[in-house]
Amino acid sequence: MVRSDSDSSNMSEKRPSDHQRIPESFRDRVPKQIVSLDVFSMIVKEYERVIIFRLGRILQGGAKGPGLFFILPCTDTMIKVDMRTISFDIPPQEVLTKDSVTISVDGVVYYRVQNATLAVANITNADSATRLLAQTTLRNALGTKNLTMASAVHCMLPILLLTYVSEAGYWKRRFLLSFQSTLDDATDDWGIKVERVEIKDVKLPVQLQRAMAAEAEAAREARAKVIAAEGEMNASRALKEASMVITESPAALQLRYLQTLTTIAAEKNSTIVFPLPIDMLQGLMGSKH
Residue 220's contacts (CB-CB under 8 Å, 6 or more residues apart) are 159
**Of 21-25, 136-140, 163-167, which has the strongest mean pLDDT?**
136-140
pLDDT at residue 6 greater than cutoff 60: no
Bridge partners (DSSP) listed for residue 48:
82
Contact call for residues 116 and 49 (beta carbons, < 8 A): yes
Provide the pLDDT for residue 161: 42
pTM of the model: 0.60
Residue 183's contacts (CB-CB under 8 Å, 6 or more residues apart) are 109, 130, 133, 134, 137, 194, 197
Contact call for residues 28 and 55 (beta carbons, < 8 A): no
Bridge partners (DSSP) listed for residue 80:
50
Provide the pLDDT for residue 41: 84
Going by C-alpha positions, the residue among 62, 73, 67 that lies closest to residue 44 is: 67
Provide the pLDDT for residue 47: 95
pLDDT at residue 37 greater than cutoff 60: no
From CA 160, how far away is CA 147, in angstroms rounded?
A: 12
Contact call for residues 172 and 152 (beta carbons, < 8 A): yes
Q: Which residue has the higher pLDDT, 141 or 215?
A: 141
pLDDT digits (tens, 9 = 90+) for 45-85: 999 999 999 999 999 888 998 999 988 888 999 999 999 99
**Of 44-53, 159-168, 241-250, which has the strongest mean pLDDT?**
44-53
Q: Which residue has the higher pLDDT, 144 or 125?
A: 125
Torsion of CA 228, 234, 238, 239, to 10 degrees: 40
What burial class does residue 65 get, using C-beta atoms within 10 Å of its C-beta: 0-12 exposed, 13-18 middle, 19+ buried?
buried
From CA 224, how far away is CA 212, in angstroms rounded?
A: 18
Length of the chain: 289
pLDDT at residue 29 greater than cutoff 80: no
- Band of pLDDT at residue 270, cut at 50, 70 and 90: low
**By three-state DSSP, how is residue 78 classified?**
strand
- Write b or e for each residue in 160-176: b if 16 or more Cβ atoms lie within 10 A of its Cβ, otherwise e: bbbeeeeebeebbeebb
Q: Which residue has the higher pLDDT, 241 or 267?
A: 241
Task: Give CA 25 to chain center in angstroms.
Answer: 64
From CA 227, how far away is CA 233, in angstroms rounded?
A: 10
- Band of pLDDT at residue 214, cut at 50, 70 and 90: confident
Lowest-confidence segment of 76-80, 181-185, 218-222 by average pLDDT: 218-222
From CA 179, how far away is CA 190, in angstroms rounded?
A: 18
DSSP 59: P
pLDDT digits (tens, 9 = 90+) for 118-138: 999 999 999 999 999 999 999
From CA 95, how far away is CA 102, in angstroms rounded?
A: 6
Bridge partners (DSSP) listed for residue 107:
90, 199
Provide the pLDDT for residue 100: 81
Contact call for residues 256 and 246 (beta carbons, < 8 A): yes
pLDDT at residue 115 greater than cutoff 80: yes
Tell me what the pLDDT averaged over the chain comes to.
77
- Please state the domain extents for the chain: 13-82, 86-204, 213-288
From CA 47, how far away is CA 25, in angstroms rounded?
A: 42
CATH class of residue range 86-204:
alpha beta
- Band of pLDDT at residue 239, cut at 50, 70 and 90: confident
Provide the pLDDT for residue 57: 94
From CA 172, how far away is CA 178, in angstroms rounded?
A: 10
Cα→Cα distances 66→51, 63, 69, 240, 273, Å: 12, 10, 9, 82, 94
Residues 270-280 have a mean pLDDT of 61
Percent residues over pLDDT 90 in the chain: 32
